[in-house]
Amino acid sequence: MNIRPATVDDILAIVNLENDVFKESLGESFLYDEMMLNPFSHIVIGEVDQKMVGYIGLRVDEEAEIMNFAVFPHEQKKGYGKALLTYALDYLKAHYVKTLSLEVRESNLVAQKLYLSFGFKKSHIRKNYYQNEDAIVFIKEVNP
């Protein structure tokens, strides 16, 4: 898999991916603003044969947060999510980021299993973070 920085030309594909996986999207304008106006934003695309299979969006400062992370359902269980998360963690280590946090739906057991396998720890619950579903906040020390 090739991992490369996202460009504005990728926005519609990211929106389609988010809608496919989450049944909703951060939206074109949000993604545009992240790419073009937010100096803390770092969004990368995972590609196989020059086709997007997934992406991960981070906000990076002394601490980092995963804004969104998705792999197309028909491309899951092929190691692409692990590769994107490994890339993100390597990037954060190289930039001396202390911790990485994220929210995940309480019902998303597959994602929770992935994060736990990477050494993330459950921190706390955010009630009704996703409309009618709680989020579990996961945190990982990247550079302790």
Give the Cα separation of 52 and 5 in Å (integer): 12
**E-assigned strands of 2-143?**
2-5, 41-48, 51-60, 64-71, 99-105, 121-130, 133-141
Distances (CA, A) of 96 to 130, 134, 142, 144: 31, 31, 8, 9
d(CA 61, CA 64) in angstroms, rounded, equals 6
Catalytic residue among 47, 63, 103, 106: 103
For residue 123, is it left (φ>0), alpha (ψ between -120 and 50) or beta?
alpha
63 is an active site residue: no
Which of 55, 80, 91, 115 is an active site residue? 115
Residue 65 falls in the annotated catalytic set: no
Could you give the residue numbers annotated as active site? 103, 115
